[in-house]
Amino acid sequence: QVQLVESGGGSVQSGGSLRLSCAAAGYSISFRCMGWFRQAPGKEREVVAFIDRGSIINYVDTVKGRFTISQDNSKNLMYLQMNSLKPEDTATYYCAAGSVWLAGLVCANKDVYTLWGQGTQVTVSP
CA 9 to chain centre: 12
The mean pLDDT value of the chain amounts to 94
What DSSP line would sit under 78-111, residue for residue?
A: EEEEE-S--GGG-EEEEEEEEEET--GGGGG-GG
Encode pLDDT of 27-51 as tens digits. Answer: 888 889 999 999 999 999 999 999 9
The answer, yes or no, to whether residue 80 has pLDDT greater than 90, is yes
The average pLDDT across 79-101 equals 95
At 81 the pLDDT is 98
At 101 the pLDDT is 80
